[in-house]
Amino acid sequence: MVEVPTGTLIVEAVHQAGLDLNIPCGGQGRCGRCAVIVDNRRAVRSRSELRLSQEDLAAGYVLACQTVLEGDVTVTIPPQEKIERRLVTDRTATRVTLPFSYDPKRDQPMQLVPLTIDPPTMDDQTDDWSRLKRAMALNYGISDLTIDLATLRKLGTTLREADWSVTAVVELDTWDRPNGPARLVDLIAGQNVAHLWGAAVDVGTTTVSLYLVDLLRGEVVARAAEYNAQIKRGEDVISRIIYASRNGNLQEMQALVVDTINEVLERACGRAGIRPWEIYKMTVAGNSTMIHLLLGLPANSIRLEPFITTINQPPPVQAAQLGIAIHPQAHVDCLPGVASYVGADIPAGVLGSQMCDSKSVALFLDIGTNGEMVLGDCDWLVSCACSAGPAFEGAGVRDGMRATVGAIEEVWINGQTYEPTYRVIPDPQLEAQGKPTLPKGICGSGLISLLAEMFVTGVVDKAGNLNFDLGSPRIRYGEHGPEYVVAWGNETAHGRDIVITKVDIDNLIRAKAAIYAGFTVMARSVGIDLSTVERVLVGGSFGQYVNVEKAIQIGLLPDLPWEKFHFLGNTSLKGALFALLNREFRRHLTTIAQKMTYLELSADNTFYEAFTSALFLPHTDLSHFPSVAEILAARRTTQSSHFIQGGRPDVHHR
Amino acid sequence: MVEVPTGTLIVEAVHQAGLDLNIPCGGQGRCGRCAVIVDNRRAVRSRSELRLSQEDLAAGYVLACQTVLEGDVTVTIPPQEKIERRLVTDRTATRVTLPFSYDPKRDQPMQLVPLTIDPPTMDDQTDDWSRLKRAMALNYGISDLTIDLATLRKLGTTLREADWSVTAVVELDTWDRPNGPARLVDLIAGQNVAHLWGAAVDVGTTTVSLYLVDLLRGEVVARAAEYNAQIKRGEDVISRIIYASRNGNLQEMQALVVDTINEVLERACGRAGIRPWEIYKMTVAGNSTMIHLLLGLPANSIRLEPFITTINQPPPVQAAQLGIAIHPQAHVDCLPGVASYVGADIPAGVLGSQMCDSKSVALFLDIGTNGEMVLGDCDWLVSCACSAGPAFEGAGVRDGMRATVGAIEEVWINGQTYEPTYRVIPDPQLEAQGKPTLPKGICGSGLISLLAEMFVTGVVDKAGNLNFDLGSPRIRYGEHGPEYVVAWGNETAHGRDIVITKVDIDNLIRAKAAIYAGFTVMARSVGIDLSTVERVLVGGSFGQYVNVEKAIQIGLLPDLPWEKFHFLGNTSLKGALFALLNREFRRHLTTIAQKMTYLELSADNTFYEAFTSALFLPHTDLSHFPSVAEILAARRTTQSSHFIQGGRPDVHHR
């Protein structure tokens, strides 16, 4: 029971009642997932009913983010979709190979300095701070040292309780002050301090991952990952920016991601048997929106043309200012980004992959809702970002879903019968009971796989049109036009057919075309042919789940030999780790971020042309995809003639 | 009604009940002013009954700071002593003369920088912060600029709301970073900013005074003063240190002085018609204990041998960290001190009085509970502090009181009749009604005046013994031994006689001897004769109220011609003002504080001898006080012989 003024959004009222309601699109009325049931439709007024069917409306469903209250009403919240997929990155104890040999004295700005200080006497009444500085200058040559008020407040007590035998935790420099001054971060009683801890964090839009690092040995001692708690306020960055830009929500978003960081921190520390406040340094990588929200910076200008960040290279901030539960005076150092849609994860990935150490041209990719990409070698780097939309994340597609339990993640289609086989992300609980996990929908990698199979088997032609001539019962007209049935209702979790519609196919083609057009424009801008690229470095989770062969078949990735593809995993997290361990690497990151040429695609008049040319499977110009041309040619000779009629490459040529 | 565990001090229980109880001695059981009435003596246990008379005890009085609760009891708090004297420094609009001509461009580290910034476009997507820095570097040559998180959080919004026409509030440097980097303290929309405000504060143990300063014109536009709210937790620094060193009390003391600062701030701003958060810089002078408590630093080591501060030269601190209500990102710069008992007020006074600009030797004094003094010229400076005890503040004396309404502040004694005349600090309300203010006690200046008059009229001899041979009814034996009646009960506010006892006189003599011994040892340490001092610079309120002639007569001040004495008023506040206006002055302060030789008197084995020699009126060696010798000689020839018997200079010579 909660009383609210007339005109309050249901989502607000639910919030005020202390309940939680996911709004994956950030309250824009786009996703339909905040639908709730009201018992009195006349007591509410809806701005939009998008994504609600006639049956939904009849059952009393309204969109909580689009409906205001105008009278007394009982709101029923249906069970919320939960993220059930086990995070593969949580717990796995990986040995991370550093791209440098680690010398803590040379590489590490954080130092433990044992100090034996002469106690004051009536003949030497020097104040505590000057006394400590004197010992530091005499014994370690550190003459320019600063102290924060909080550290100053405990200085006298620590010195006396420790009988003037202490260990100073000193930060020698930061990336923005390479010549110091050094900073006294903490003073620990005694001289038996055996450890110095740091943490490297990747704040992903979906997942927050953390390495707990022994700064003396340069080793990852524990890791942990968790879904970013901001997800419930928007699944993609745009939704979150929109949500955060409303009154007061920025603080909430800031708190949500900090809560997640503190959770993974607590978990990793638990595994290593230490306490979070023993951590004296944290580096954070993330896209520009994630970094803005973490720092509590308004992100709205990132979303609006001309797409501007508040800051690409934030100064180090004290943990206490953000609410991060490491040592309050410890610095949280957010790695540098390049532009609104080329965040800190990109320079971190470029540097972590050693892409700029070689003369050979490499392409670095990070594909999600936005494709971020960099082309270059040791002499030049050009980057761009293109908005693929959420199709590869399973959103904006009729039966699309996130890569969680019950999602179809891979599909094979029989070239003779056009019958599909698929693999579902299993529910561990059902698995343990020996029961199968029934599908609920299709996730991004499943959609790519499905589309590629449909194309090479001729279920769709190069324009994405379904071939009704095949005579398969799976190819039919549905509520939204032509569609292909992937799973019949009797084999699904909800009893409804799982389909891919022509509209979905068009969505996917637009998404892949945007990415491929990015490559094209970027390559053209530097006069390079994509086929001359020596290495394709794929970062992020996309590379972990997607089948490259199929991504090439739909024209999402350039058609290069498999051995040129390298899957780097979480380059962002690794970049944060390297930056945590190595001050040279950290400074180099800034140089790279500054040196990278950013290409704004929406301002590039060749982009639209490249995009339009890519709106086919795999592309208007099949010569760019020789391996796909080969498959198609092979199929032509083995398959029935009606396919060739429906799918002949030249039929739809403009 | 409040329930507390057995063993809780009454003062704690009163606090928990949400009531306020003054403990002027900080809870040491010394002053007796926290006496309360309990209805059941068996329910309490007292550690001490010091200062309570038999009648008090019979009436149920106990010391709240020395009595623990062991059962149910009703505690009655008698009306508390209030500070009623109008602060002379509040409101008076003084024109302060600066010791330099003010050029805000050259002298002032705070600058208003109008900026017209190119708005971002699709062709120039530079982030907001880099864009602002670029404009700053291009137009003003400020290339190294930092920003705090709080300022960063409003950067984008301000720039856009102001349509890229803004005024930056920049701090070019601080005393500890004379080469910058510059700091963006705030960003104001538009370019019509006509004012830049600062505040200079003197945090006295008794009074907090503030100047509101126009930093563009170098003018004091308003001033305000208020009693330091810490007084209720201890009247002198030692009491406050003791109180603050108990669990949790440090935060309370910090909050109390910040409350006072915010109160005077609010008042001064009200007079000038501005709001406190428009102030972008604050300088603070004060003794080491006041500065420690303001910063929230433990002060206990100041009190305990070997008397060590946490820091003498604190770094600038952001106002928000202290809770001071000026702009949250504004720096609060505490001026440098020299040692535990030679605080920031001393270098400030020395520099403000231009003492070190001249070849002629000067003595700078600041006398309160502690006498702080500096001797020197442009080439050398030596300082020391001596604990006079609170006698000059009217404490530790039977009828002593603070210089508030009803205090006798000046006394004259008739050389024939030994009858006194006195002046009382008037109550403005009574004055307005044409009624006289009846005396309640004697304040510090009154005590000095009284003792000098008693000495020169022969009421006491050079050892401070009362001369019973005079036959005056005012010279008598009281409860505490010999005493002189200054006011009979029928002429006092409380109906009791106001007296000065032999014990009080001994207290006063010890106090003045400590100060004078300080001069002696300091002069001797540098091989100077006090008579060669060219100027005596008297700072603080002492100089404002004390009669120098009488202070010389009791041997408190050196016997120098009147014209050598200069009363500087609140040198501490002036020092803070000059430091606020002039970065050279501010840096010079640090140099002076560092260069000053500090003499620890308690470690000096000649101090005790000098102190013992000064335990006479005016001194063992009358040759140091030629003007007093002259008065005594004159009196010898005019007065009756029994004085000479009682007061002959050589009688008490060791």
| A367 vs A255, more confident | A255
**A634 and B CB contact within 8 Å:** no
Final residue in a domain of this structure, among A76, A99, A123: A76
| Chain B residues whose beta carbon lies within 8 Å of the beta carbon of residue A315 | 146-147
Same domain, B42 and B122: no
- pLDDT higher for A404 or A645? A404
Residues B287 and B366 in one domain: no
Residue A504: inside a domain, yes or no? no
- Kindly give the residue spans of alpha helices, DSSP state H, lying in B163-245: 237-244
User: Does residue A124 sit in the same domain as residue A267?
Assistant: yes
Query: How many CB atoms are located within 10 Å of the residue B573 CB?
Result: 31
Looking at residue B653, its pLDDT comes to: 31
Does A603 contact chain B (CB < 8 Å)? Answer: yes
- Assess if residue B629 is contained within a domain: no
**β-bridge partners, B382:** B375, B597
pLDDT greater than 60 at residue B641? no
Residue A643 above 60 pLDDT? no
Assigned domain for A34 exists: yes
CATH number, residue B541? 3.30.420
Regarding whether B17 and B133 lie in a shared domain, the answer is no
Average pLDDT over residues A370-374: 89
pLDDT in tens, B513-524: 999 999 999 999
Q: Give me the mean pLDDT over the A618-646 stretch.
A: 76
Residue A88 predicted with pLDDT over 70: no
How many angstroms separate the CA of residue A437 from the nearest CA in chain B?
Answer: 47
CA A291 vs. chain centroid, Å, equals 11
Q: Is the pLDDT of residue A184 over 50?
A: yes
Domain end point (choices B59, B76, B93)? B76
For the segment B274-307, what is each residue's pLDDT rounded down to a tens digit?
A: 999 999 999 999 999 999 999 999 999 999 999 9
Q: Tens digit of pLDDT for each residue in B440-462?
A: 999 999 999 999 999 999 999 99
Highest averaged pLDDT of the listed ranges A90-99, B23-32, B368-377: B368-377
Nearest CA in chain A to B317: A149
Q: What is the pLDDT of residue A203?
A: 95
Report the chain A residue with the minimal C-alpha distance to residue B321. Answer: A149
Out of A153, A176, A311, name the one closest to residue B297 (CB): A153
Model pLDDT, residue A108: 98
Chain B neighbors of A128, CB-CB under 8 A:
301, 308-311
The per-residue pLDDT for B89 is 47
Higher model confidence: residue A7 or residue A340? A340
Within the 411-470 window of chain A, which residues sit less than 8 Å (CB to CB) from chain B?
Answer: none
Cβ separation of B120 and A306 shorter than 8 Å? yes
Q: With an 8 Å Cβ cutoff, are B310 and A127 in contact?
A: yes
Instruction: Using a pLDDT cut of 70, give the percent of chain B over it.
Output: 94
Nearest Cα to A403, choosing from A236, A206, A205? Answer: A206
CB contact under 8 A, A306 and B128: no
Instruction: Note the pLDDT tens digit of each residue in B388-405.
Output: 877 887 777 899 988 889
By CA distance, what is A156's nearest residue in B?
B310
State whether A316 and A177 are in the same domain. Answer: yes
Secondary structure letter of residue A466 according to DSSP: B
Q: What angle do CA A201, A203, A204 make, to 5 degrees?
A: 135
d(CA A299, CA A303) in angstroms, rounded, equals 7
pLDDT digits (tens, 9 = 90+) for B345-354: 889 888 888 8
A607 chain-B contacts, CB cut-off 8 A: none
Does the pLDDT at position B12 exceed 80?
yes
Query: For A544-553, B42-51, B177-186, B214-223, which range has the lowest pLDDT when averaged over its residues?
Result: B42-51
Q: What pLDDT, on a 0 to 100 scale, did the predictor assign at position A650?
A: 33
Whether residues A274 and A409 fall in one domain? no
Residues 271-330 of B with CB under 8 A from A: 295-298, 300-301, 305-315, 317, 321
Q: How far apart are CA B54 and CA B45, in angstroms?
A: 17
Q: What is the mean pLDDT of chain B?
A: 89
Angle (CA) B452-B458-B464 rounded to 5° is: 65
Contact A155 B310 (CB under 8 A): yes
- Which residue type is seen at B564? K
**Range scoring the smallest mean pLDDT among B152-166, B204-218, B344-358:** B344-358
In the stretch 126-165 of chain A, residues with CB closer than 8 A to chain B read 126-130, 146-147, 149, 152-153, 155-157, 160
Beta strands A597-599 and A381-387: pairing type?
Answer: parallel
Question: Which of B143, B147, B311 to mutate to test binding with chain A, by most A CBs within 10 Å of its CB?
Answer: B311
Interface test with B, best of A121, A123, A126, A127 (most B CBs within 10 A): A127
pLDDT in tens, B534-570: 999 988 777 677 888 899 999 999 999 988 998 888 8
A117, A123, A125, best to mutate vs chain B, most B CBs in 10 Å: A125
Please indicate, yes or no, whether residues B24 and B88 belong to a single structural domain of this protein.
no
Cβ contacts of B602 on chain A, cutoff 8 Å: 122
Q: What is the mean pLDDT of residues A241-252?
A: 94
Using CA coordinates, name the residue in chain A closest to B341: A125
Q: Which helix (H) or strand (E) holds B451?
A: helix B444-456
CB contact under 8 A, B308 and A120: yes
- A128 closest CB neighbour out of B153, B307, B311: B311
For residues A143-161, average pLDDT: 97
Residue A71: its pLDDT value, please? 87
In this structure, the answer to whether residues B72 and B86 fall within a common structural domain is no
Query: Which residues of chain A does B603 touch, with a Cβ-Cβ cutoff of 8 Å?
Result: 122-123
Span A300-311, mean pLDDT?
95
Nearest by Cα to B423 from B440, B435, B436, B411: B411
- Whether A308 and B602 lie within 8 Å, measured CB to CB: no
Give the other-Cβ count within 10 Å of A521's Cβ: 22
B464 Cβ neighbours under 8 A, 6+ residues apart:
B502, B505, B506, B509, B616, B617
B46-72 pLDDT, tens digit each: 887 777 777 788 888 888 888 888 888
Q: What is the DSSP string of B236-295?
A: SHHHHHHHHTSTTHHHHHHHHHHHHHHHHHHHHHHHHT--GGGEEEEEEEE-HHHHHHHH
The pLDDT-based confidence of A645 (bands split at 50, 70, 90) is: very low
Q: Which of A126, A128, A598 sits opposite B125 (nearest CB)?
A: A598
Higher pLDDT, A404 or B25: A404
Q: Which residue, among B132, B133, B134, B149, would best test binding to A if mutated, counting the most A CBs under 10 Å from its CB?
A: B149
pLDDT reported for residue A321:
97
| B617 belongs to a structural domain | yes
Checking if the pLDDT of A49 tops 90, the result is no
The reported pLDDT for the residue numbered B639 is 56
State how many domains chain B has. 3
Residue A442 · residue A407 · CB < 8 Å: yes
Per-residue pLDDT tens over the stretch A490-528: 999 999 999 999 999 999 999 999 999 999 999 999 999
CATH number, domain of B170, equals 3.30.420.480
Distance, in Å, from the CA atom of A554 to the CA atom of A470, rounded to the nearest integer, reads: 21
Q: Which of B30, B51, B76 is the last residue of a domain?
A: B76
The stretch A268-276 carries a mean pLDDT of 96
| Contact pairs from chain A to chain B, CB under 8 Å | 128
The Cα B553–Cα B413 span in angstroms is 14
Which among B122, B153, B321 has the least Cβ separation from residue A149? B321
pLDDT at residue B227 greater than cutoff 70 = yes
Q: Looking at the partner chain, which of A129, A298, A312 has a beta carbon nearest the beta carbon of B127?
A: A312
Identify all chain B residues contacting A340, using CB atoms and an 8 Å cutoff: 125
Buried b (16+ CB within 10 A) or exposed e, B139-163: ebebeebebbbebbbebbbbbbebe
Q: Is residue A420 assigned to a domain?
A: yes
Which candidate from A125, A295, A308 shows the least CB-CB separation from B306? A125
Considering the domain architecture, whether residues B296 and B371 belong to the same structural domain is answered as no
**Quick check: is A644 in a domain?**
no
Does residue A535 register a pLDDT over 90?
yes
Separation in Å, CA of B650 to nearest CA in chain A: 37
Q: Does A248 touch chain B (CB under 8 A)?
A: no
Query: Between B83 and A305, whose confidence is greater?
Result: A305
State whether B135 and B235 are in the same domain. Answer: yes
Q: Which of the two residues, B226 and B331, has the higher pLDDT score?
A: B331
If asked whether residues B146 and B275 sit together in one domain, one would say yes
**B583-622 per-position pLDDT tens digit:** 999 999 999 999 999 999 988 889 999 999 999 999 999 9
Give yes or no: residues B319 and B384 share one domain. Answer: no
Measured CA to CA, the distance from residue B404 to residue B87 in angstroms comes to 9
pLDDT of B39 strictly over 50: yes
Q: Which of B125, B128, B305 sits opposite A122 (nearest CB)?
A: B305
Among A121, A149, A295, the residue with its CB nearest the CB of B317 is A149
pLDDT of amino acid B474: 97
Check whether A146 has a pLDDT greater than 90: yes
Residue A642 domain-assigned (yes or no): no
Closest in B147, B307, B314 to A125, CB measured: B307
Neighboring chain B residues of A121 at a CB cutoff of 8 Å: 306
* pLDDT over 70 at A653, yes or no: no
Q: Do A152 and B297 touch (CB under 8 A)?
A: yes
Q: What stretches of B377-504 adopt beta strand conformation (E)? A: 381-387, 407-413, 420-424, 441-442, 475-478, 481-487, 498-501
For residue A90, is pLDDT > 60?
A: no
What is the domain-level CATH number for residue B42?
Answer: 3.10.20.30
User: Which of B127, B317, B340 is the closest to A308 by Cβ?
Assistant: B127
In this complex, the residue of B120, B305, B312 whose CB is nearest that of residue A130 is B312
Q: Which residues pair with B283 in a beta bridge?
A: B200, B333
Residue among B127, B310, B339 minimizing CB distance to A128: B310
Domain that holds residue A446: 396-499
Q: Is A34 within 8 Å of A51 (Cβ atoms)?
A: no
Q: Given an 8 Å threshold on Cβ–Cβ distance, is B308 in contact with A127?
A: yes
pLDDT score at B21? 79
Alpha-carbon gap: A251 to the closest alpha carbon of chain B (Å): 11
Of the ranges A47-56, A323-332, A638-647, which is most confident?
A: A323-332
Is A606 inside a domain boundary? yes
Q: What is the pLDDT of residue A641?
A: 43
Task: Check whether A392 has a pLDDT greater than 90.
Answer: no
Q: What is the mean pLDDT of residues A553-580?
A: 91
A563 has a pLDDT exceeding 90:
no
State how far residue A299 is from chain B, nearest Cα, in angstroms. 9
pLDDT digits (tens, 9 = 90+) for A450-498: 999 999 999 999 999 999 999 999 999 998 899 999 999 999 999 999 9
How many angstroms separate the CA of residue A126 from the nearest CA in chain B?
7
Please give the structure tokens belonging to residue B425: 């600090």
User: Would the CB atoms of A152 and B310 count as touching at under 8 Å?
Assistant: yes
